[in-house]
Structures are given as structure tokens and as C-alpha cells.
Amino acid sequence: MAGRKPVSQLGLDRADVRRARTLARQVGKPIVDLAQRHTTVSVERATLRLAGLGGSDPDGTPWVNRLADVVRADVGLEHGVSLPVWDALVRGEGDDLLTLAQKAAAGSVTFRVPEGKDAKRASAAACKAVGAGIKQIDRQRVARERMIAKVGDAPSKPWIYLIVATGDIHEDIPQAQAAAREGADVIAVIRSTGQSLLDFVPEGATREGFAGTYATQENFRLMRAALDETSKELGRYVRLTNYASGLCMPEIAALAGLERLDMMLNDSMYGILFRDINPIRTFVDQRFSRQVHARAGIIINTGEDNYLTTADAIEAAHTVTTSQLLNEYFAKEAGLEDWQLGLGHAFEIDPEVPDSFRLELAHAMLARELFPDAPLKWMPPTRHMTGDIFKGYLLDGFFNLVGAMTGQGILLVGMMTEAVVTPWISDRDLALQNVRYVMNAAGNLREDFHPSPDGFIATRAREVLGEAIGLLQEIKDDSDAAGDPPLLAAIADGTFGLMKRPADKGKGLDGVARKAADYYNPAIEILEGDQ
């Protein structure tokens, strides 16, 4: 019957699903309120980048850092940088942002927070400059749509997602192009180890990354241009992924929009749990970055798979579902749509556990049913890869089979040399052959596979959903004497990934400021639709 909602293959109670989302909203809303009351140095630097300020001083410190630091020293961060900076420009302290940043670094400019007519003039000038950057993001989104219409898109999902990670952008490019020619639909350029903890974005094309390549605007531009050429050659648009995470999450999101990246790893809690970045800093930064991604038409990838590298994949399965529900709430509140939600999960159960494949299938089917319109990102086994490449290749085949049977949207290619070496091009070719065989042989198996309503798989899925609802209820009901959002207390207690991260600690806390009554940021106003 037309318009009739499909019946759950897992026997999920619709009331339970609604309750799970209601609880996620109730747990997430206090975090959004907290984010709206604060700003960070990276949000303010991202605003300057959207206005066109780039480059770095002779020591490699970006001009956005130099300018923001002087403004902060003069008047604090709580007012935002826009009013003080454009007030100085209107007063003739510099001909443009770059000149002003150079003079500020030399100590020849003193900033103030303008009032009255001066504030109005400064806000108007700031809005015009930042608006130009957001219009460039809009043009890049249109350019993507036009190119897909012209050269064609990947023929079907799942999109095959493959990593390059040489450390040298000029080596990454031919490897990425070769991977695309072998069948990859999405190229992810792994970021240099430790970049998430740098409180600045490096400049220029880089050749010296460690186990990855630095995320810079120029590296984004070079790789996007190269993949555009390969897209024309292949007759299908090849998507590009990088990382909007860490201490510079908002800035990297802005650069990704300006340079037409297509996906960004952007989890609400990854930096907190696995990089010990302050929780408040992270939640403020992720909200702004997701607003940029929503405007740019970028698909986000979340990091729930990482929980299962530190916690047991069976015992912690419900924390993955809980995080997916929270990531969905935070993403939609920031303006992202279902098609932009690459919610993460992973094939990480110990293969020695009886019925491990059935458990993986249950967890993957649960994610697919809870988020039917999201292009879920399915991650391959890593934790239990032992160095036995034959067993690893078989595990990757099982992983690919679950992806086929559950309709995952983004399938990261598993490597049989995981935990042995950084993959060679030949390793990637074998891994892609594995994917192609499974998808050709069983890609439509989802049409025929229907688990027994009272069988092992459906029962396990309902059990995990029930545990996720219980955890969300427990978080919601928890409170502390300081009145902090309950989710912050749950993170401090090690609820996710067994990592305990208090709200008053962690890297980057000194870059957080509570907004003053006269706080102004034109990027936020434009992205939220006020102008």
C-alpha cells in the first residue's frame, strides 16, 4: 500500500525507536545550549579564514592565529574577533586583513570593542567580508552538483572508500588516482599523526607528514584538482575525504568547504575520548563545523568504530548505538540532512567468539533500520587482525558480506596487512578484488535475507536497542552538583570507549570563552539563517 511504513525485519518496536530519539534529544539539548553560550579560538579563526585571511608569517604561524591572539590579548575572546577586527579596518588601521594581521603581530595596532554607530559599521563590514567566503562555499557546492551531472556518479552503493597515507601530497596524488582507477569511489587522505593536537593549521603543500599528510588548504586544492581530472577520465565523480577534528575542527571545515571536499570525518566525541581534547571545546567546535558542512553539502563520517578498539565489541555495542543517536541529533540540530550522516560502526567482534558473524550482522542490521536514509559508514576489522594475512583476507571478506547484506552506504576497504605494514598499492588492489568479488556475487542478497523474527539476530538487535535506551535514560537522569549537562558527566565517567574525560580538563580548554552580551560572529548569523 502506498505510503505504508515498512515493517521492521528485526521486530523493533516503533515506540522504542521514538523513545530512543526523544532521549537522545533530551541528553543532547543541554550540550547544544552550552555550545551556544561559548566560543573558541578556532571558531574565531575560522571566521577570519572565511573572510579571506590566509598565509603565515616567516616562522610558519598562520596569520589568523597571530591576529586572533592579539585581539584576545587586548579585549578578550568573549566578544568575538569580528567587531574588534573590522572596527580597526574601518578606522584605517590596515588596508586589508593581511596588513592588519601583520601590524598587529608587530605590536602597532591596539584593538577595542566598538559601541553604537562604530559597532554597526564594524558588523556591516564583517558581514560583507565573511559573507563572501560563504558565497564561495555555495559556489563550490553548485560546482560539485554540476560536475556529477556532467561526468556521472558512482554507479551504486556502497561507495568503496579507500585510504592513502604517504605523508607527501605529491605521492598521495598518484596513489589516489590509481586507487580510483581500480574502483575506489571515495579517497580518504589520512592526516599526519598528531595534527589534531596542533592549535594551528599548517600552510602550503607539505611533504613531511608522519603516517599521513598534513591537512592544509593547498593540499586540499591539489588533491581535489587531481581527482577532478580522474573523474573526467573515468566518467564518475570521485569523492575526497579528510578530517575535521581536533583543535582546529572549525577551520578545517571552512577550508574543506572552500576547496570542495565531499566528506569529512567529524564526530561529536572522538577528540574528547581519543585525543583528550576538552569536552566543551569539542562540542562548541563541532557545532560550528557541522553548520559549515551543512552549508557546503559535505557528508560527515562519525567515529563510533573507535569505541570498539578500546572496549569489547559485544559488551559495548549499545554505546555505539547511543553515540549514533546523539550524533544524529547534534548533526540535524546543526542543519545536516539524513543523506549527509555517515554514521559509523565496525566489524570488531573477536572472530573466536561463537556466532561472531551473526552478532556482527545483528549490529549492522540494527544501525541500518534505525537510520534508513543515512549512508552508514561500515568499518573493517582492525583490533583482531593478527598479522596472519590469509585469515585477515577471509575476515575482510566476511566484513564485505555483512556490508552487502545490510545495505551499508560507505564501505571502507579492509587490508589483510592491517597491523603489519602500511599497505602497498598491491595490497590495496587485492583488497579491492575482495570487495568486487563479494559485491558481484552477493550484492543483492539483502533482497532475499530476512532473519527470523524470534531468531538470534533479531533478538540480539532488540537487546542492543534496549540497552541503548537504558543508557540514554541513565545519562538523562544523572546530574551533578555543578549543574553541568548530564552527558558531560557520562563522558567523565568513561561511559564511551572506557575513556574518562572530565569537562574541566583536557587540551584546548584555555581556548574556550563564554560569550559576552555583545558577542558577534557574522558566520554564525549567516549559517543559522539570520542574514
Q: Which residues are marked as active site?
A: 270, 305, 377
Strand-pairing partners, residue 299, are 263
Query: Which DSSP state fits 53?
Result: -
DSSP readout, 201-219? Answer: ---S-----SSSB---HHH
Taking alpha carbons only, the member of 202, 228, 212, 232 closest to residue 169 is 212
Pairing between β-strand 512-514 and β-strand 38-40 as defined by DSSP bridges: antiparallel
Q: Where are the alpha helices (DSSP H) in 371-455?
A: 389-406, 425-442
Reported as half-sphere exposure (CB side, CA atoms, 13 A), residue 85 has a value of 36
Q: End-to-end CA distance of the chain, in Å?
A: 43
Residues in the chain: 531
> Phi and psi dihedrals of 451, rounded to 5?
-65, 150
Q: Dihedral, CA atoms, 69, 70, 76, 79, nearest 10 degrees?
A: -90
Q: To the nearest 10°, report the CA torsion of 301, 304, 308, 312.
A: -160
Grid coordinates standing for 264?
Answer: 569529512
Phi, psi of 430 (to 5 degrees): -65, -40
- Which residues are within 8 A (CB) of 525 and not within 5 positions of it... i.e. 6 or more apart? 127, 531
Instruction: Determine whether 131 is exposed, middle or buried from the number of CB atoms within 10 Å of its CB (0-12, 13-18, 19+).
Output: middle
CA-to-CA separations, 145 to 149, 387, 514, in angstroms, rounded: 6, 42, 39
Question: Can the peptide bond before residue 279 be classed as cis, meaning omega within 30 degrees of 0?
Answer: no
**Alpha carbons 177 and 192: distance in angstroms, whole number:** 20
Beta bridge partners of 213: 191
Round to whole Å and give the CA distance between 404 and 347: 13
What distance in Å separates the CA atoms of residue 397 and residue 401, rounded to the nearest whole number? 6
Residue 258 to residues 68, 244, 250, Cα–Cα distance (Å) = 21, 13, 12
Closest residue by Cα to residue 83 from 114, 49, 53: 114
Per DSSP, which regions of 234-335 are E strands? 239-243, 263-265, 299-301
